[in-house]
Amino acid sequence: MNELESLLDSNKRWAKRVASDNPEFFSKLSRQQSPDYLWIGCSDSRVPANQIIDLPPGEVFVHRNIANVVVHTDLNCLSVVQYAVEVLKVKHIIVCGHYGCGGVQAAMENKEHGLIDNWLRHIRDVYRYYRTEIDACANEGDKLDRLCEKNVVEQVLNVCSSTVVQNAWRSGQPLSVHGWIYSVQDGLLCDLDVVMASLKDFETANQ
């Protein structure tokens, strides 16, 4: 038996259950999506966007990569941001990191991991910006947690630096960018309180 057959069976059961709870669900959703949120998170299987904010399909536009990094020249991520902001007109962009992130941990280590080290280099840069504060932490676990938080803050700033977000603010489009962190240990999200809702907020944060 095909190993993936159970997934296809699960899908059939899920689609049937959703349709029986709400017969209009799929026909409505097939006509359009109008999510208010763009989620930029880590690829980690324990941090599934829709599930942890308890939203059904159609409510959140999602981009995930290793360690929720927003690189200034990453056309994949920037295209997602552009589509979300300019076409879907999302009102909020949430950058969500998580404690114990393997990508962030690998970036802190002086070990070779292959190709991915080039990606993780961006997080090493974050470590460099906050080195004094991070190295002052009592133990390795606290250091990792702090870097996971700082990485979210920096990625929020990177989202805000994009021409897409800056142009949206210039044209008066309501759009705010938030930084959250998730704990895989208790399933809870924490708002890191780095909300940017205008060019002025962003300029103040960059001073």
Contact footprint for Co ion (CB under 5 A) = 42, 44, 101, 103
* Catalytic annotation present for 46: yes
Closer Cβ to Co ion, 144 or 196, answer by number: 144
Angstrom CA distances, 152 to 19, 96, 127, 173, 194, stand at 37, 7, 12, 23, 9
Closer Cβ to Co ion, 49 or 85, answer by number: 49
Amino acid occupying residue 63 = H
DSSP string, 2-58: -TTHHHHHHHHHHHHHHHHH-TTHHHHHHH----SEEEEEE--TT--HHHHTT--TT
In total, the chain counts a number of residues equal to 207
- In whole angstroms, the minimum distance from the beta carbon of 148 to Co ion comes to 8
Which of 9, 17, 36, 46 is the catalytic position? 46
- In whole angstroms, the minimum distance from the beta carbon of 37 to Co ion comes to 20
* Catalytic annotation present for 44: yes
- In whole angstroms, the minimum distance from the beta carbon of 40 to Co ion comes to 12
Closer Cβ to Co ion, 103 or 179, answer by number: 103
How far does the chain reach from its first CA to its final CA, in angstroms? Answer: 60
Which of 44, 63, 122, 178 is the catalytic position? 44
Active site residues: 42, 44, 46, 98, 101
